[in-house]
Amino acid sequence: MANTYNYINLIAIYAIYAMSLNVLLGYAGQLSVAHAAFGAVGGYMAAYLGTSHGWHFGPGLLVGALAAGVLGVLASLPALYLDVRFLILLTLALSTAVLAVVGAIPALGGATGLTSLPFPTIFGQSLLEPSHFVIFSVIVALIVLAICSRLVNSPFGRVLRALREDEVAARGVGKNIVRYKVTVFGVTAAMAGVAGVMLSYYNASIQPGGFDLSQSMQIIAMIVIGGTANLYGSILGATIIVLLDPFLQNVVNLDPDTAGLVRTFIYGSLIVIFMMVLPQGLIRERWTIGRLLGRRSAKTAGGIDVAKLADVTEDSNAQEAAAEAAAAGAGQPAATGQLALEAKGLRKYFGGIRAADELSLQLRTGQVTGLIGPNGAGKTTVFNLLTRVIPPDAGTVSLGDTEITEWTPNRIAVSGMSRSYQDVRIWSRMTVLENVMLAIPHQPGERLFNVFFRPLAIRKFERQAATRAMEHLQFVGLAEHADEEAGSLPFGDQKLLALARLLATEADVLLLDEPASGIDIDGVERMLGLIERLRARGKCVCIVEHNLHVVERLADRVYFMEAGRITAEGTMSELMQQERLSEVYFGSS
């Protein structure tokens, strides 16, 4: 029986590790091999305070979690500037550094660590035996499950999933990815700190070796096997990995040393096998207990039932009007022909490549402006400069009367200008509805404080957001696909989804990068019709497009670009008269 309690305690503690890493890795897509090291920081902090300063377990647990959280925040800062692949190296270096430091501090016992930790006491009760500890460890694991579940099933968690799939697109709809990354590193490291404190107090000792890379790999194995982006999967993974040891020793009859080696070999092999054969693990992302019991689970991150929004999809004039109004944004249509955006003297060189030079343009409300030119002329670079995805070497950009040259891309996106991408960049593993909802600006549920302390406000906003998103989907004709995974849509529908997402940002200046490329004739017709309706509602639209028929039909004014410069402008028919344009497009002079 004592053994059973022991395993339950270990499963609970490792489930805390695994669930918190799953939020960071499985949901937010931030690869970290330093999770055990965060546990070490928490564990050492509490153990030191307990052994040297007589601190009680409870305050030590809180301070340990806080210390690990602070280290998590610090680790996130260089992570902001690194491609996700280099995060492994960063966190590996961090893990090695943490263990080297704790191993070198005499007050922390060097390589032998700290031993004879006092028995933990909770509300005056000493937890002397595994059977005493078990209620506490299970309760803490359930609290961590509740916290993680609330986090990932909130609008905040929806943004984390968008970061995992396409950070650029998340920034493009106005999400401050710095805030999300720092928060998720800090919160998950703090939870790892809790696991580290519990593990050291449970073992009554702490050594650097208990938190090394193999421990981190063990936690990663729990996630990969159980299910990335599924918290129940983390608990299952923790159970499998913890019980592997007694299985090898008691069932296969290996001695403890051999069992240790075989176990490490099995982790490594299982990680590789699962990643190749079952990359989402035993329990897939969208599997919930309800779904496993046969209930159809079609809820948004904020818990809104998609089926209940289905009436929006029914065809009626009122809903058409709502969709039209949602697409145009609140309020009256802006007066046609007003200056909405002006760029002056933009310059961008990539080494010796001139992508933009002395480039000035104006975009007006209620008009479609075309940006055309041969491959490599710099058209997409212009969009990148206007939205500051890349900073210009020189020049200014103004949105209305406000200069926005130095603004961040996310600030620009929530201030009235948003863009689409040649390669759509939808969040494939999220539903169609979630893709659109995520782009709605100023959501209270995207703030951590509100996630835990203002659930009613979140629910109310979420209901409104879901309705608005359905109206945008209605506008582009995708409402009946709301609950489908976005990646499963045909490419033409993905382009329409990208347009709906763009409209959800409520921007008045819309930059569309090749909206009609790669789709069939019916799709092109549908897309053009939608853009015309947006223009009629006063939106300022700029399209980059190679298909001159599309430009001719849509654009009120056209800029022709070559080698980073605008070399001609006018209506399409005016430009068609120019020899240079025929030469570039039709190869004649």
Ligand X SMILES: Nc1ncnc2c1ncn2[C@@H]1O[C@H](COP(=O)(O)OP(=O)(O)OP(=O)(O)O)[C@@H](O)[C@H]1O
**Minimal distance in Å, beta carbon 381 to ligand X?**
3
Applying CB under 6 A, among 353, 360, 423, 457 the residue interacting with ligand X is: 353
Applying CB under 6 A, which part among 124-132, 260-268, 302-310, 349-357 lies near ligand X? 349-357
Using CA atoms, how far residue 83 sits from 21, 87, 166, 182, in Å, is: 19, 7, 12, 15
375 vs 577, beta carbon nearer ligand X: 375
Supply 304's token pair: 């809104």
86 vs 453, beta carbon nearer ligand X: 86
Applying CB under 6 A, among 312, 377, 385, 511 the residue interacting with ligand X is: 377
73 SS3 class: helix
**Minimal distance in Å, beta carbon 564 to ligand X?**
7
**Cα–Cα dist 122/138, whole Å:** 14
**Cα–Cα dist 30/32, whole Å:** 6
First to last CA, the chain: 90
Residue entry with tokens 């399209």? 543
Applying CB under 6 A, among 378, 392, 395, 409 the residue interacting with ligand X is: 378
45 vs 371, beta carbon nearer ligand X: 371
**Cα–Cα dist 114/204, whole Å:** 9
**Minimal distance in Å, beta carbon 371 to ligand X?**
8
Would you count residue 373 as binding ligand X (CB under 6 A)? yes
Per-residue DSSP letter, 483: T
208 vs 373, beta carbon nearer ligand X: 373
Applying CB under 6 A, which part among 88-96, 289-297, 376-384, 516-524 lies near ligand X? 376-384
Would you count residue 361 as binding ligand X (CB under 6 A)? no
**Rounded to the nearest 10 degrees, what angle do helices 256-277 and 213-226 cross at?**
50
**Cα–Cα dist 117/402, whole Å:** 61
305 SS3 class: strand
Supply 485's token pair: 């995974």
Applying CB under 6 A, which part among 109-117, 158-166, 368-376, 567-575 lies near ligand X? 368-376
Query: Can you name the residues that pair with 560 across neighbouring β-strands?
Result: 372, 568
Would you count residue 168 as binding ligand X (CB under 6 A)? no
378 vs 445, beta carbon nearer ligand X: 378
CA 416 to chain centroid, in Å, comes to 22
The amino acid at residue 189 is A
202 vs 559, beta carbon nearer ligand X: 559
**Cα–Cα dist 109/103, whole Å:** 7
**Minimal distance in Å, beta carbon 425 to ligand X?**
14
Would you count residue 392 as binding ligand X (CB under 6 A)? no
Applying CB under 6 A, among 381, 387, 418, 420 the residue interacting with ligand X is: 381
Per-residue DSSP letter, 377: S
Residue 486: CB atoms within 10 A of its CB come to 25
Supply 365's token pair: 């409300």
Applying CB under 6 A, which part among 192-200, 280-288, 348-356, 408-416 lies near ligand X? 348-356
**Residue 364: which of 323, 335, 322 has the closest Cα?**
335
**Minimal distance in Å, beta carbon 542 to ligand X?**
13
Backbone angles phi, psi at 93, to 5 degrees: -65, -40
Supply 97's token pair: 């550094």
**Minimal distance in Å, beta carbon 170 to ligand X?**
19
List the interface residues with ligand X, window 415-474 (CB under 6 A): none
**Minimal distance in Å, beta carbon 394 to ligand X?**
16
Beta carbons of 381 and 564 less than 8 angstroms apart: yes
Applying CB under 6 A, which part among 72-80, 102-110, 241-249, 369-377 lies near ligand X? 369-377
**Cα–Cα dist 384/61, whole Å:** 47
Would you count residue 387 as binding ligand X (CB under 6 A)? no
Q: What angle do CA 113, 116, 120 make, to 5 degrees?
A: 115
Would you count residue 375 as binding ligand X (CB under 6 A)? yes
Would you count residue 376 as binding ligand X (CB under 6 A)? yes
**Minimal distance in Å, beta carbon 387 to ligand X?**
13
Applying CB under 6 A, which part among 156-164, 225-233, 238-246, 373-381 lies near ligand X? 373-381
Beta carbons of 474 and 213 less than 8 angstroms apart: no
372 vs 509, beta carbon nearer ligand X: 372
281 vs 395, beta carbon nearer ligand X: 395
**Minimal distance in Å, beta carbon 495 to ligand X?**
16
Applying CB under 6 A, which part among 64-72, 166-174, 374-382, 426-434 lies near ligand X? 374-382
**Cα–Cα dist 62/59, whole Å:** 5
Applying CB under 6 A, which part among 53-61, 75-83, 261-269, 375-383 lies near ligand X? 375-383
Beta strands in 68-205 (DSSP E): 121-122, 125-126
**Minimal distance in Å, beta carbon 582 to ligand X?**
18
**Minimal distance in Å, beta carbon 169 to ligand X?**
16
82 SS3 class: coil
List the interface residues with ligand X, window 488-507 (CB under 6 A): none
Would you count residue 350 as binding ligand X (CB under 6 A)? yes
Applying CB under 6 A, among 158, 171, 364, 379 the residue interacting with ligand X is: 379
Would you count residue 265 as binding ligand X (CB under 6 A)? no
Applying CB under 6 A, which part among 19-27, 43-51, 86-94, 347-355 lies near ligand X? 347-355
Would you count residue 570 as binding ligand X (CB under 6 A)? no
All residues at 6 or more sequence positions from 114 whose CB lies less than 8 Å from its CB, including other chains:
44, 47, 48, 51, 108, 200, 205, 206
Per-residue DSSP letter, 362: E
Beta carbons of 356 and 346 less than 8 angstroms apart: yes
Strands 565-570 and 402-403: unpaired
Applying CB under 6 A, among 45, 194, 220, 355 the residue interacting with ligand X is: 355
Would you count residue 380 as binding ligand X (CB under 6 A)? yes
Q: Which residues lie near ligand X (CB under 6 A)? A: 350, 353, 355, 373, 375-381
